[in-house]
Structure 1
Amino acid sequence: MAPTSAADPQLRQILAGRGYRRLLLLAALLGVPVALVSFFFVSAQLALQNLVWEDWPEDLGFDRAPWWWPLPWLLLAGLILAPVVTRMPGGGGHVPAHGLGGPPVGPKALPGVVVAALLTLPLGVVLGPEAPLMALGSGLALLAAQLSRKPLDAMNGAVIATAGQTAAISTILGGPLVAAVLVIEAAGLGGTGMVVVLLPSLLASGAGALVFTGFGDWTGLSTGDLALPTAPPRFTPDAADFLWGIPAAALIAALVAAGMALGRRTEKWIRPQTGLRTVLCAVGVGVCLAVYALVTGRDPAEAALSGQITLGTLAADPHAWPIAALCALILFKGLAWGLSLGGLRGGPIFPSILVGAAAGVVCSGLPGLGTTPGLALGIAAAAAAVTGLPLTSSVLTVLLLGQGAYHQTPLVVFAAVVASIVTRLLRRPQGPAEGAAPGAAAAAGDGPAADPGSGSAAGARPGGGPRPESGPPGPGRDPAP
């Protein structure tokens, strides 16, 4: 308790200062425009996705998208993305193989991020919208800071960028709670530093969530946030669930780690000829999706995209999925996700959650392991493996499970911790140059938070990139030893 008591005078001085009160007000005000832009951004992306994968196949007389449907659309995604990556500032955002988000994205890099996400993710890229949303939030926040009468210093700019990221990511995670936990865990801070960063982030995400929810009701537009339309049935885990659940969580973590390793290898392969090989990478993703549809006779959209819709379908009726189809989904979506991590642009979390959930349902066939516990541990283990944040992953899983969450919490926490440890053990240490994504400097170079000497708050951003000093991993850094 002594460190907390010693920090109280410093914290009181910070909270009482005019500069920090102005920072809190700015954070709360920023949550509104960030949420509005994020709302229409995600709504437009979902509308394009429905157009490509549902409306156009029906217009052509198909009951669902045919097996070959992903091939032309992923080719188009590669052709769109290649000039963005090679010519636009920021390269369309960070490479998702390095984690959830890179350094805060400045205003100059925003057009590339928006074009890459809005025009390629709906075409079937196996990535989620979370990283582009965080980039959008930080870019808008830094733009507002640059336009203010009293420009913020580097440290306060980093805090505002974090608040913008948090406001944006809370819209797709269903509210400010998960985003706030993410800030705490990713920051690796305690005491004064945690409070200083957390309060503006909570205000921004709370204001943003209110606006986001209201606009959804007023406009009737869907945003496809990460939620299960039908919660799994209540089920109390027993000894058998833990007996099978721990090794199952380790297996799922190994699967996710293998996909992330494929992403890093893909990125290295792309670097010498970025434009051409970006297109080839996108085509490779399309081939994986087409083969899934051919092998299973099912809709290729199940393996394409972020997986939010398929996750809801799987959770609503896991027994409707044959084991062979689930294994094919794990294999081909996992391969497509790994390729997308290294060569395309988007967020890494959502597809990994679907892969983990499918693996959990497959493991639920083991004697004594129930379907609901299998689904719960699969989601928690995959989220923890890809983010390196077991607490955030546990909270996210509990919120997703809804009514059945209370009894699953111990198993969820065990799975998240085991997956986090296994991922760290499996991950090979990186050299100093391996963690830096091409274009990262350009992405962050036009905002106040980009200053490497900006103080401890700069390391608190939830999308923070690799830093030379040691410290706990965040979603912007791969969980490394």
Structure 2
Amino acid sequence: MADASAGRAGAAEEAGPSIRTLLLLAIPALLIGIASAVVLWLLDLVSGWLESAIWDGLPHAIGITSDNPWWILVVLTFTGFAVGLVVWLVPGHGGPDSATTGLSSPPPPIGTLPSIGIVVLISLAGGVSLGPENPIIAINGALAVAAFARFATKIPPLLIITLATSGTIGALFGTPVAAALVLTGTVAAVRNGGSLWDKLFLPVAAAAAGAETMHLLGGQTIAFHLPPYGTPNPIDFLTGLLVAAFSAGIGILAAFLFPYLHAGFHALRHPVLLTTAGGLLLGLLGIVGGPITLFKGLEQTGELLAHPGDYSAGMLAVFVIVKVVALLVAASSGFRGGRVFPAVFIGVAIGLLGHAVIPGIPLGLAVACGALGIVLVETRDGWIALFLGVALTGDLTLLSTLCVIVLPVWLLVTKAPHFEIEPKHGLARPPTALA
């Protein structure tokens, strides 16, 4: 009898949260998701206005075009100088170095948020090769924790951070699926019972609210339309693997060089010197690669995929090299921003390069495999790499082929260097479990 009672007690402990608890917590989850999307949308809106003024209005006013090499050099150098001034003088100093953070890093103190917002706006508008993902997740996480610490003290801060991260990822990628996949590995580590979907229920609710809010606000999407893949051929597994492995190899090389370049830039010590030097190099790279290699890369990815036949293999190789170096320079020289969107551009360019040089490989497969390889290195997450490979092409028929290709590519990546710098001053590491 005692054993039976103990068994029932253990089963009760592992039953997970009640339906009532999930429904009650779904309300703050939805609110956090909506708010996260609105903050991202505002960031995109303001940075878009600034970008238009810098790259369209000002060049037109002085009688030059925005692709003028000198204009590219001046804008990127001044962008670096401006970011350096903020990091040096503004309270909060731009928050933590983005080279040391990932998608699920802990949020910074609330007092750093204005400086983070300013440097991200400057970087996005100025054409720096970084995306908004790391900083906007940090901003939304800090805002959510501060708000609920005041009005809903019984909700655990770790859950609030998870919901803000989910809502922001849903808004960034336009679907709650991305957040569910990113967080699956995290919630799987929880040992306090309950089903996986009990733990994913609230993050998916927040992500869905964020994604739908972003759609309603007219935000950007990562989905593009390419010719349908159709039925897999045996040779596709080999050619797709070649493209994915090459893309992963480029990412591994970049990850290997990242800490050396980061240390080299930070030897300059002063933030203004650091980011100005980075901006100058980004300007020179922009002259070599052209405007398509500037900015976070989402709109530029659309340009590549809208007219893939317009780019020769040589041009695509230049785009890959320039964007990889630009990503390393931007991430190493004190700019604040994420690495996923630039990595997606690089992966798509590699995919188009593979399509140009490997006879017979379908365009959608090449693009998906190119994105899969380097995103797998950058995120160290097979789910998000598979998701982005399919989402970019809008073709679910690729999924089974990609699920086979990702396995050997993961063996290449799993022991490779991480595309993230270890913090030097005891910054907290991302949480590994949900409360």
**TM superposition score normalised by structure 2:** 0.87
How far off is 1:92 after superposition? 3.0
- Residue 290 of structure 1: aligned partner: 287
Would you say 1:398 and 2:386 are equivalent positions?
Answer: no
Candidates 295, 306, 312, aligned match of 1:316: 306
**C-alpha deviation, 1:11, in angstroms:** 4.6
Unaligned runs of 5+ in 2: 1-7
Which residue number in structure 2 is paired with residue 435 of structure 1?
422
Q: Does 1:361 align with 2:361?
A: no
Q: Which moved more, 1:190-199 or 1:167-176?
A: 190-199
Alpha-carbon distance between aligned partners in 2 of 1:65 and 1:429, rounded to the nearest angstrom: 31
1:256 aligns with: 251
Task: Report the CA distance shift for 1:210/1:243 in structure 2 as closer, same or farther (over 3 A).
Answer: closer
1:224 aligned onto 2:220? yes
Deviation at 1:71, TM superposition (A): 1.4
Q: CA separation in 2, counterparts of 1:8 and 1:44?
A: 52
Match of 1:219 in 2: none
Provide the C-alpha distance between the structure 2 equivalents of 1:97 and 1:124, rounded to a whole number of angstroms.
21
Q: Match for residue 352 of structure 1?
A: 343
1:322 Cα offset (Å): 1.2
- Report the equivalent of 1:123: 126
Change (3 A) 1:82 1:192: farther
Q: Counterpart in 1 of 2:322?
A: 332
Deviation string 1:445-469 (CA, Å, 9 cap, x unpaired) is xxxxx7x8xxxx93247xxxxxxxx
Aligned-partner Cα distance in 2 for 1:7–1:429: 41
CA separation in 1, counterparts of 2:167 and 2:248? 29
Percent identical residues: 23
Is it true that 1:47 corresponds to 2:43 in the alignment? no
Q: Deviations over 1:160-198 (max 9, x none)?
A: 111011111211201211112111135552653844642
Say whether 1:161 aligns with 2:156: no
CA root-mean-square deviation: 2.9
| Distance apart, 1:338 and its partner CA | 1.0
Whole-Å Cα distance in 2 between the matches of residues 7 and 267 of structure 1? 50
Cα distance between partner residues in 2 of 1:100 and 1:383 = 13
1:295-333 deviation digits (Å, cap 9, x = unpaired): xxxxx2200111111211211221111111101101111
Give SS of 1:32's match. Answer: helix
Q: Which SS does the other structure have where 1:375 is aligned?
A: helix
Moved more, 127-136 or 270-279: 270-279
CA distance in 1, matches of 2:302, 2:288: 23
Structure 1 residues 285 and 7, CA gap change in structure 2 (3 angstroms): farther
Determine the C-alpha separation between the residues in 2 that align with 1:387 and 1:7: 36
8 Å Cα contact 1:398-1:406 kept in structure 2: yes
Question: Which of 8, 22, 32 matches 2:34?
Answer: 32
Q: Distance in 2 between matches of 1:255 and 1:310?
A: 20
Deviates further, 91-100 or 373-382: 91-100
Match of 1:386 in 2: 378
CA distance in 1, matches of 2:368, 2:325: 23
Task: Tell me how far apart the structure 1 counterparts of residues 64 and 332 of structure 2 sit (CA, whole Å).
Answer: 33
The question of whether the paired residues in 1 share the 8 Å contact of 2:170 and 2:211 is answered with: yes
User: Does 2:296 match 1:306?
Assistant: yes
Deviation at 1:147, TM superposition (A): 1.4
2:3 matched to which residue of 1? none
| Alignment equivalent of 2:142, drawn from 136, 139, 143 | 139
Correspondence for 2:67: 65
Match of 2:409 among 419, 422, 425: 419
Comparing 130-139 and 406-415, the one that deviates more: 406-415
Which residue of structure 2 aligns with residue 205 of structure 1? 207
Q: Distance in 1 between matches of 2:232 and 2:112?
A: 47
Paired position in structure 2 for 1:182: 182
- Mapped to 1, the partners of 2:352 and 2:345 lie a distance apart of 11
Query: Could you state the TM-score of these two structures normalised by the residue count of structure 1?
Result: 0.79
What count of residue pairs does the alignment treat as equivalent? 420
